[in-house]
């Protein structure tokens, strides 16, 4: 051990650089491999003063070519419940929309599958990654529903996660041909399992006063009242996670 320390000291005096697993160090200490630190990491010290070991939840930050590293507090906006942090925001729109026909009224249950008379708005499908088991996901959907006949048309739209129904709203359009409604759905999901999850939106026609009529979702059915910009659908997804535990 004494000989090793002496050789390392002499090497430092001769070359002013020490390399571990490299014969050509490019800095004062050049490590070619993994670094395992079992203890504190002090930065910003001198020959006479021990450097800063950093406080809890601080991150080691580079200060560029002209400054040394330092421990700094990471500024992340705090979300709900004082402990969740915004980790992802997804915003999508779709102008293709749907043309719905009458399929009959009924009730809808949580976790029922995206099948049967449900028709997906394909342009709004989004894969979201969750990395922490303590989380909250908030989903906002907005669209228009316009009928091409006089009378009334009821319909339903739902938010699906992994092809299972998680939030649904039923509405009805009344009036003359070209009448329309604005549709909004807000759904929140708590502590979704870690991994990848796919969010989708689907709608279905219920009962129409004109059985041969059509109800447009997210697209104009009568251009005199709406255009594609006004009628388009939008989906926003906000992922908040507990990053500290």
| DSSP secondary structure code for residue 193 in this structure | P
- Domain parsing of the chain, residue ranges: 1-33, 80-241
Angle at 16 between CA 51 and CA 71, to 5 degrees: 20
The label of the residue with tokens 């590293």 reads: 69
Architecture of domain 80-241: Sandwich (2.60)
How far is residue 125's CA from residue 131's CA, in Å, rounded to a whole number?
20
228: its two tokens: 């594609």
> What pLDDT is attached to residue 5?
43
229: its two tokens: 């910009």
> What pLDDT is attached to residue 245?
64
Cα distance between the two ends of the chain: 41
Residue 76 vs residues 5, 83, 87, 91, 188: alpha-carbon distances, Å: 45, 11, 9, 20, 21
Is residue 179 within 8 Å of residue 215, measured between CB atoms?
no
- The distance between the two most distant Cα atoms of the chain, rounded to a whole number of Å, is 97
pLDDT < 70 stretches in the chain: 1-15, 57, 74-82, 245
> What pLDDT is attached to residue 59?
77
């Amino acid at each position: 051990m004494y000989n090793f320390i002496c050789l390392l000291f002499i090497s430092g005096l001769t070359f002013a650089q020490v390399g571990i697993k490299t014969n050509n160090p490019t800095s004062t200490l050049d490590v070619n491999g993994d670094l395992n630190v079992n203890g504190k990491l002090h930065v910003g010290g001198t020959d006479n003063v021990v450097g800063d070991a950093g406080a809890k939840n601080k991150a080691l930050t580079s200060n560029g070519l002209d400054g040394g590293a330092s421990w700094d507090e990471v500024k992340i906006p705090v979300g709900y419940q004082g402990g969740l942090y915004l980790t992802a925001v997804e915003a999508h729109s779709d102008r293709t929309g749907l043309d719905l026909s009458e399929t009959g009224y009924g009730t809808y249950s949580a976790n029922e599958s995206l099948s049967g008379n449900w028709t997906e708005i394909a342009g709004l499908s989004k894969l979201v990654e969750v990395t922490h088991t303590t989380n909250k996901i908030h989903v906002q959907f907005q669209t228009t529903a316009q009928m091409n006949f006089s009378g009334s048309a009821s319909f339903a739209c739902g938010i699906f996660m992994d092809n299972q129904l998680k939030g649904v709203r039923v509405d009805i359009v009344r009036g003359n041909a070209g009448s329309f409604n604005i549709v909004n759905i807000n759904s929140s999901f708590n502590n979704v399992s870690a991994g990848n999850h796919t969010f989708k939106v689907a709608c279905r026609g219920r009962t129409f006063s004109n059985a041969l009529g059509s109800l447009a979702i997210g697209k104009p059915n009568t251009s005199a009242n709406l255009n594609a910009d006004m009628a388009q659908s939008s989906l926003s997804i906000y992922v908040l996670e507990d990053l500290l535990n």
